[in-house]
Structure 1
């Protein structure tokens, strides 16, 4: 059985149709920030993207060349694999109804090519509520498919709580967990990380520890108080960067001492339904520059959220940076971002 409270289940459809803006943007940080001035001489660039699924795409997405160029500047990309990667779904009825996710290995490979993400530069979290949608066999097939594609994974109990990744001269530690399940806890136990207590997790030899949590409630632009409290606890336990998933809409950024918390990046490829109300089609690419200089290794030098939107194009989506939008849609997206962030920058794709 899933672990969603009844109030959550009852609010899912209303919030999907009209994502909530209940919250105060003044509690949070701008969409971009510089933490080191002057900047370090040597940096490593990380990119975090949102949930990845084939639910809204029958063929590979079309990607704005500017997005491909942006991702091409990075040394490592981290995202969430929201759908099991299997060629034939076992949960046939649920898959047809949209309650159970599925994504073929071929689609994932073609989608990554379309957006310009090299497999060797990609890490995908499997710690999410949908990972067992096609059963234990589908979970095993997913792990095997990602291995065949040469994509590293995080959020599996078999990998240990922290996965070290060498990125240029730095050692980045990645950890992931899910607070939500679409199946019984016994199916997740021993396969998927559900542990959000990082106090006892190893971090020796890691320059920067990053967490990729699957948390909070869906279709709410502002995180719940419980989610913010967990972020503070994680920051106190040494996590320097947190990039969250599961809300399926963009959420704000918070700076907790030296820790950057991006509560929700939205979807990178649509995961809710084929036709989704426009606020749920806004996503973020989080770009983080990390110092590799002696004396400040692993310190976050700067961060920036790059907003984009997913537009329908026949049987697939078209990913477009907000700065390339025109007319009414651009105004609508700009208004939504202003409601979530206290002072969004006027350059690099965020309209004033």
Structure 2
């Protein structure tokens, strides 16, 4: 989430002023035109040779430091993926250096034990996980906290993307495929020079090196973009998606909005503007629209005729229910409270009505 009060952040004033109102009441306003992509598309019959990618939203532990509960259906879905990709929204430290900010929720932090136990609870194997560090909170616990985060993820055997040292496009294996990940953030909560030295802010595809498609089967962008708590992305965000698609990106899975946003097809590129949060929030009493999350599952072809092409995709929606100091991840269709289930279903219909 945005730390709009930080003196060296790069948020415009209008954004800072709107943060709390939009957190309390996520907006359905904005341009709804052109989002014609459905929440799922399947090939019938489907190809037999595919690799499965699963994209999850922001992962943090600010107000919920106990390991989550997870519905078996969600755990099974995540376990079925060859590669799971998410955003590591909280630095991984044993003792936060920004003590007051961490208690208030303006600074993020989670322990290595919390992350390891949470991944086990939700069915994600560490060796199948790739986490982006390209987000505004990654330096919330200072440079030392960033170094501790990198070391912790290495100990856990979790691959990372989005660091300045890795370059604008970083290669990761997914089954028999090589995926090129362009992970970057447009937002920062720290000094610009200090931040850019460690985290990719390479959001302009025109500045990427030539030949980025030479050794990859699929080029995927993982941007930390747009404005928070708005279900429909801003025109500037959609314009950037078009530029990314024009550069050869065929799959975009965005973060930072903290609410679910629609899908769009741009030529043969699939854009998921915002997946919502996967785990964690700054405040334990977060309003219900911000507790809707999604998992984007994409099956990618590995056969010689169409290697790297998207065969099928589906958004799986769930709720992060607050339960006695921890979160409970439940598929929307399995919600027991009828009023909540109806409100969530109506909200999703408004977002994906295109």
Interval of TM-score (by shorter of Structure 1 and Structure 2): over 0.9
> Does residue 283 of the first structure (1) align with residue 290 of the second (2)?
no
Shift of 1:25: 4.1
Please report the TM-score for the alignment, with normalisation by the length of structure 1: 0.95
Shift of 1:26: 4.7
Matching residue of 1:163 = 170
How far apart are 1:169 and its partner, in Å? 1.6
2:284 to 266, 270, 274: 274
- What residue is the counterpart of 1:31 in the other structure? 39
8 Å CA contact 2:30–2:234 kept in 1: the answer is no
Instruction: Note the C-alpha offset of 1:167.
Output: 1.5
Separation in 1, partners of 2:216, 2:189? 33
Q: Does 1:242 align with 2:252?
A: yes
1:94 is aligned to 2:101: yes
Report how far residue 38 of structure 1 moved: 4.6
Q: Distance in 2 between matches of 1:209 and 1:247?
A: 22
Which stretches in structure 1 are left out of the alignment for 5+ residues?
344-352
* Structure 1 contact 25–339 (Cα < 8 Å) conserved: no
* Runs of 5+ unmatched residues, structure 2: 1-7
1:310 and 2:320 correspond: yes
Residue 12 of structure 1 is matched in structure 2 by 19
Report whether the alignment pairs 1:255 with 2:262.
no
Tell me what 1:147 maps to.
154
For 2:164 and 2:100, how far apart are their aligned partners in 1? 29
The match for 1:111 among 94, 118, 122 is 118
C-alpha separation in 2, matches of 1:271 and 1:176: 22
Give the superposition deviation at 1:272: 3.0
1:191 aligns with 2:198: yes
Q: Which string of whole-angstrom CA distances, capped at 9 and with x for unpartnered residues, describes residues 199-248 of structure 1?
A: 43323210001110000000000000000000000000000100000000
Q: What is the CA distance between 1:73 and its match in structure 2?
A: 1.1
TM-score (norm 2): 0.94
Deviations 1:120-139 (A, max 9, x none): 00000000000000000000
| Structure 2 counterparts to residues 39-188 of structure 1, below 5 A | 39-188=46-195
| Aligned-residue offset at 1:24 | 4.8
Contact 1:51–1:271 (CA under 8 A) maintained in structure 2: no
Does the CA-based 8 Å contact 1:56-1:275 persist in structure 2?
Answer: no
- Structure 2 counterpart of 1:321: 331
Deviation at 1:315, TM superposition (A): 1.1
Aligned length: 342
